């Protein structure tokens, strides 16, 4: 197929290399002329994806209209904060029924909309799908075995995307639970910030395991209340994505958290990571959703306190530990 990748960041480039290997003709759009020139000449994103070579058959352009009109499937790979603006620019060029696959993760703070909802609002004529799971661009670009999930309302749309991406190193599952997938993939970034903060404070494996397991409990509580399916949060886009993001140094959210745990401000941490730290943008939205759906998110609440109210990280951990006593599993006690 002819595929247009909207966004030339590390994830967009990794998927471009994968799609090219699978036989698709890929065009990558960026709004930055210097980025297009650099990628066209060097055939490698040295700063963001070193060592991943981009075949010469891949085209780079700043022409959004041509990219949208000349490709059957579009991959939306811009950071979450730019999804609405980019979709708005694309809307007049998208054909009825054209497939747009969103691969960014996040929740819009002022509307509490998921990214697929934003794209559908801006481009109602498109068929919108999402793709997420435990994936780092650095590994996908190098062909390391990876699994991921495509979510779509129509099974045939999901299967088309599955066929487009799947190969011997990139296994693709399908799911109709688009909402659950997006909630899991967005909020795991906030928990990953907490995991990084714990690392920066010098805590150990016990703390990391607690944050991952109690973190998925928080994500599941909210996601199920919003209409997501429990099995989604126990799968690749739930616990799977959370594990990889909390445990890997490829994770920009964990790296930013480590710096915050070591005493840097949110802005200093984001500047040092030099990439968009999606968890910072999802944290406030998560707490607004928690209030709307009357769900407790104690870990995510403390991350917000650290990020936006200058609460010392060690104090936030202490407050988590001395909360009211709770039952993990309540049914089955003998009376």
Q: Across residues 24-42, what is the average pLDDT?
A: 97
Answer yes or no: 188 catalytic. yes
* Residues spanned by the domain of 165: 2-176
Q: Give the domain-ending residue among 176, 192, 207.
A: 176
pLDDT at 17 over 80: yes
Q: Give the domain-ending residue among 118, 144, 176.
A: 176
What tens digit of pLDDT does each residue of 247-295 get?
988 888 999 999 999 999 888 888 888 777 888 889 999 999 999 999 9
Residue 68 is predicted with a pLDDT of 98
Q: Are residues 172 and 185 in the same domain?
A: no
Q: Are residues 125 and 164 in the same domain?
A: yes
CA distance 107 to 22: 31
Exposed / middle / buried, residue 218 (Cβ in 10 Å: 0-12, 13-18, 19+): buried
Residue 280 is predicted with a pLDDT of 85
CA distance 64 to 90: 7
Q: Give the domain-ending residue among 120, 142, 176.
A: 176
pLDDT at 113 over 90: yes
> Residue 299 — very low, low, confident or very high, per pLDDT cuts 50/70/90?
very high
In a domain, 233, yes or no: yes
The one catalytic residue among 188, 208, 229, 284: 188
Q: Are residues 46 and 65 in the same domain?
A: yes
Residue 328 is predicted with a pLDDT of 85
pTM as predicted: 0.92
User: 195: alpha, beta or left, given left = phi > 0 and alpha = psi -120 to 50?
Assistant: alpha
Q: Are residues 101 and 146 in the same domain?
A: yes
Q: What percent of the chain has pLDDT over 70?
A: 100
Q: Across residues 294-314, what is the average pLDDT?
A: 94
Q: Are residues 25 and 146 in the same domain?
A: yes
Q: Are residues 203 and 108 in the same domain?
A: no
* Angle of CA points 109, 28, 82, to nearest 5°: 10
In a domain, 331, yes or no: no
Q: Are residues 189 and 159 in the same domain?
A: no
Q: Are residues 129 and 227 in the same domain?
A: no
In a domain, 245, yes or no: yes
pLDDT at 109 over 80: yes
Residues 6+ apart with CB under 8 A from 30: 7, 8, 36, 39, 60, 61, 62
pLDDT at 7 over 90: yes
């Amino acid at each position: 197929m002819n595929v247009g990748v909207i966004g030339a960041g590390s994830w967009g480039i990794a998927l471009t290399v994968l799609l090219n290997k699978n036989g698709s003709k890929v065009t990558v759009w960026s709004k930055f002329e210097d980025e297009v020139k650099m990628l066209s000449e060097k055939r490698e994103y040295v700063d963001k994806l070193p060592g991943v070579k981009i075949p010469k058959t891949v085209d780079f352009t700043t022409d959004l209209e041509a990219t949208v009109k000349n490709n059957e499937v579009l991959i939306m790979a811009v950071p979450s904060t730019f999804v609405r603006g980019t979709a708005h620019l694309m809307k007049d060029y998208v054909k009825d029924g054209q497939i747009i696959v969103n691969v960014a993760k996040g929740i819009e703070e002022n509307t509490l909309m998921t990214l697929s909802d934003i794209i559908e609002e801006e481009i109602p004529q498109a068929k919108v799908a999402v793709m997420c799971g435990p994936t780092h661009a650095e590994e996908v670009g190098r062909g390391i075995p990876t699994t991921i999930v495509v979510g779509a309302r129509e099974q045939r749309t999901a299967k088309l995307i599955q066929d487009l991406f799947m190969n011997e190193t990139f296994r693709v599952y399908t799911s109709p639970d688009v909402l659950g997938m997006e909630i899991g993939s967005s909020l795991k970034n906030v928990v990953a910030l907490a995991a990084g903060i714990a690392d920066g404070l010098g805590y150990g494996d016990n703390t990391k395991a607690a944050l991952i397991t109690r973190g998925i409990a928080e994500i599941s509580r909210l996601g199920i209340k919003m209409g997501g399916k429990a099995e989604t949060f126990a799968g690749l886009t739930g616990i799977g994505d959370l594990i990889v993001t909390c445990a890997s140094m490829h994770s920009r959210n964990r790296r930013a958290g480590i710096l915050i745990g070591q005493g840097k401000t949110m802005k200093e941490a984001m500047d040092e990571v030099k990439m968009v730290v999606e968890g910072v943008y999802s944290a406030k939205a998560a707490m607004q959703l928690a209030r709307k759906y009357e769900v407790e998110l104690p870990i995510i609440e403390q991350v917000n306190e650290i990020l936006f109210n200058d609460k010392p990280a060690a104090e936030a951990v202490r407050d988590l530990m001395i909360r009211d006593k709770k039952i993990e599993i309540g049914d089955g006690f003998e009376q």
